[in-house]
Amino acid sequence: MKQQLAELFHRRFACHLFEAERTIAPADIEYILEAGRLSPSAFGLEPWKFLVVQSHDLKLALQTACFQQQQVGTAGAVIVILAKLAELAPDSTYAQRLLAREYPGEQYDLALANYRNFCAATDLRAWSVTQCHIAAANMMTATTALGLDSCAIGGFLPDQVKQVLHIDPAQYEVALVLPVGYCAEEAHEKLRLPLAELVDYR
């Protein structure tokens, strides 16, 4: 299992052009989404929502909102990961329901108090977006395990994406645009800095 996972990490790469005519099986899309759903999140709040865009016209509109990056328009599906905003407020029904699930019984009051303090000291919008990136990483690995490819798109116009998909800006921020599908280009050599240049032990 360890070797298989390492091979997936080595094989995954950012695909910049997909085979536009090839569709993705519904079971494969669900597998990718499940990898996102099962991802860890702080306080167990699961601050993400996944929009699966398969409409040709919507994908082209999203491509425009993503600075015309062609992988968006040619993907078999584009998963837009939304970061929850209003539901993360400490007094929201959503936050309290999930905190009660994560910290049952006598743990709940202390957990809620800690969460209130955290929210008061944190940029919740930015925090929610970064949490969504955890789910995105797992979804990209799951995509590779299926023999498909992906490309994490962080370059987009958030307001334009929200307009295209009719997203309420009070409820969600756009965290990431994730095209997935069958790559139309050869995988390039994986180039990474060596661990010795990245890691200090103290």
Q: How confident is the model at residue 36 (pLDDT cuts 50, 70, 90)?
A: very high
> Per-residue pLDDT averaged across 166-181, rounded?
98
- CA 61, 63, 65, 67 dihedral sign is negative
pLDDT in tens, 4-19: 989 999 899 999 999 9
Query: Do the Cβ atoms of 117 and 88 come closer than 8 Å?
Result: no
pLDDT > 90 fraction of the chain, expressed in percent and rounded:
95
Neighbour tally for 96: CB within 10 Å: 16
Q: What pLDDT does residue 76 have?
A: 98
pTM: 0.95
The residues pairing with 179 across neighbouring beta strands, listed in sequence order, are 78
Rounded CA separation 96/165 (Å): 28
Q: Of the given ranges (104-108, 165-169, 185-189), which has the lowest mean pLDDT? A: 185-189
Q: Where are the domains of the chain?
A: 2-198
Which of the 8 DSSP states describes residue 121? Answer: T
Q: What pLDDT does residue 74 have?
A: 98
For 60, residues 6+ apart whose C-beta sits below 8 A from its C-beta are 73
**Domain 2-198, CATH homologous superfamily name and number:** NADH Oxidase (3.40.109.10)
Which candidate, 151, 155, 139, 181, places its Cα nearest to that of 18? 181
pLDDT > 70 fraction of the chain, expressed in percent and rounded:
100
